[in-house]
Structure 1
Amino acid sequence: MRLTLLLLIVILGSAHAADTVRLTNGEWPPYLGEDLPHHGVASRIVAEAFALQNVEVQWEFHPWARSLKMAEQGTRDGSAVWLYNREREQRFHISDPVVESGYYLFHRKNRHFDWSSVEDLRGLRIAATRGYDYGDAFQQAEAAGEIDVVRLTGDEQGLRQLLAGRVDLFPVDKVVGFDLLYQQFSAAERRLLSFHPVPLRSDSLHLLLSREVPGNAELMQRFNQSLARLRDSGKISQYLLEIQQPLSLGH
């Protein structure tokens, strides 16, 4: 009897573990955030796609570098959400796109600005957020000293430097930028800013599942199936529409 009960406990415990995925996360409102509704729209999409497979997400919020390292080492199952690159593909199973991200060059409305290539940014003072990748052309020009870039601690600081006239340009994801402007800045300050309609970079963001965790390849297949179902239902478009602030800076 005791052996039967012990086996039952082990079986039930294993079933519960199989129905849970531990994912790291970070702060990037309105896409991701510990205190946001649903932990942000990207977290909501990930969690609901897993829920369609009867898998519950346990979120842990850490600084970005730590979040990625924990997932890479397999101490957590994965992390959300990240850009694709070949190096990450060696360490992670990478999902189909969860959300799309577009970085645009914000500037003060009273400063005429036009561009079509990174060469057009020469001679301008540019702020950028530390640790962010703005695309190969921008990164290479920055590394070579061909463009004048100062790296700051966060997107809010970049926007404040822009408003203060200390820099001429600041690239930021448009949805993130507008969310910051509506949450942390006044209407008068928002009216001072505009952005160029040509994106600096446009990318998709993905769920990463560690290759160090057994079963993650199959779990990613299941996730992608449910992500497609969620997208086809129209819910992803609905959720993304709900977070978008009026895009009216100078336009």
Structure 2
Amino acid sequence: MKFLLFILVCSLSSIILAQDVKTVSIASGEYPPWTSKDYKDQGFVNHVISEAFRRQSYQVSFIYLAWARSIKEAEKGRFHAASYWACSPERKQSFFCSEPLHTEAYVFFHLKTTQFSGWNTLDDLKGYKIGVTRGYTYTKAFWDSHKNKELDLIVNTTDEISMKMLLKGRLNLMIVSSITGLMILNEKFDPVIAQSVTYNSKPLVNNPAHLLFPKSHTDTKLLLTIFNKGLQSMKDDGTFEKHLDMLITGYYKKVAK
């Protein structure tokens, strides 16, 4: 009898614990090694997000969409959050921004044979066909130069498409974070082809990245507080720094299927 009572108590405890673990749905997109459904732990950023919520007894479900669509769907409140974005003044109108997850340097990649000695102002980029990705932030001045037809930007849906166009000579430059650009070259192309590409070290922008919580969702302020608390605990105990080391040493790679 005591044994049966013990089993019953254990079963009830398991049910209660299972109910205590809530699920957060987050819209994301493909941007390896930062975010990707095909990479270890879904990439560095999404790994950090999952761990921060796990410490607060929440689990995360990432739904991968095209970047422009992912933030629109999140803005409507169809997801608890959007991973991951710069906290621009425009986005602050519809979202609350988490504490920074990391900072990315967006640089210009080009073929070594391209005559590109560098740049100081946006005027120095005139005359080049530049590959960019739809939905990315970059800078307002950069996008405004495109709207005013001062810069020739070729807008693609992914960085990989821009890289392919660059290698085929259909672009002069493409802008992408240095780590992502190098990973695309190393994973998608023959080493000989990859070695034909280089990048200019001067960044267009260093963008702090955040998890965005839509103001339209009823649970937003609670989840924002919970996430920031979990993220801070990772920074306090050294786990966040450990994840950064894993990023640098190549832990976040595509998982073989």
Report the TM range for the smaller structure's normalisation.
0.7 to 0.9
* Residue of structure 2 aligned with 1:114, choices 118, 126, 132: 118
Q: CA RMSD in A?
A: 2.4
The match for 2:156 is 152
* 1:207 paired to 2:211: yes
Amino acid at match of 1:88: R
* Residue of structure 2 aligned with 1:191, choices 176, 191, 195: 195
How far, CA to CA, are the matches of 2:133 and 2:79 in structure 1?
A: 27
TM-score, with length taken from structure 2: 0.82
Q: CA deviation at 1:131?
A: 3.2
* Residue of structure 2 aligned with 1:76, choices 76, 79, 84: 79
How far, CA to CA, are the matches of 2:98 and 2:137 in structure 1?
A: 20
Instruction: Give the 3-state SS of the residue equivalent to 1:213 in structure 2.
Output: coil
The match for 1:104 is 107
TM-score, with length taken from structure 1: 0.84
- Are the equivalent residues in 2 in contact too, given 1:179–1:244 (CA < 8 A)? no
Amino acid at match of 2:150: E
| CA deviation map 1:32-78 (0-9, x unaligned) | 11122111111100010111111111222233333223322223211
Q: CA deviation at 1:128?
A: 1.9
Q: CA deviation at 1:170?
A: 0.9
- Are the equivalent residues in 1 in contact too, given 2:67–2:134 (CA < 8 A)? no
User: CA, structure 1 residues 32+145, in 2 after alignment: closer, same or farther (shift >3 Å)?
Assistant: same
The match for 2:22 is 19
Number of aligned residue pairs = 236
User: CA, structure 1 residues 124+90, in 2 after alignment: closer, same or farther (shift >3 Å)?
Assistant: closer
How far, CA to CA, are the matches of 1:21 and 1:150 in structure 2?
A: 35
The match for 1:3 is none
Moved beyond 6 Å, runs of 4+: 12-15
Amino acid at match of 2:37: E
- Are the equivalent residues in 2 in contact too, given 1:106–1:169 (CA < 8 A)? yes
How far, CA to CA, are the matches of 2:78 and 2:157 in structure 1?
A: 28
The match for 2:51 is 48
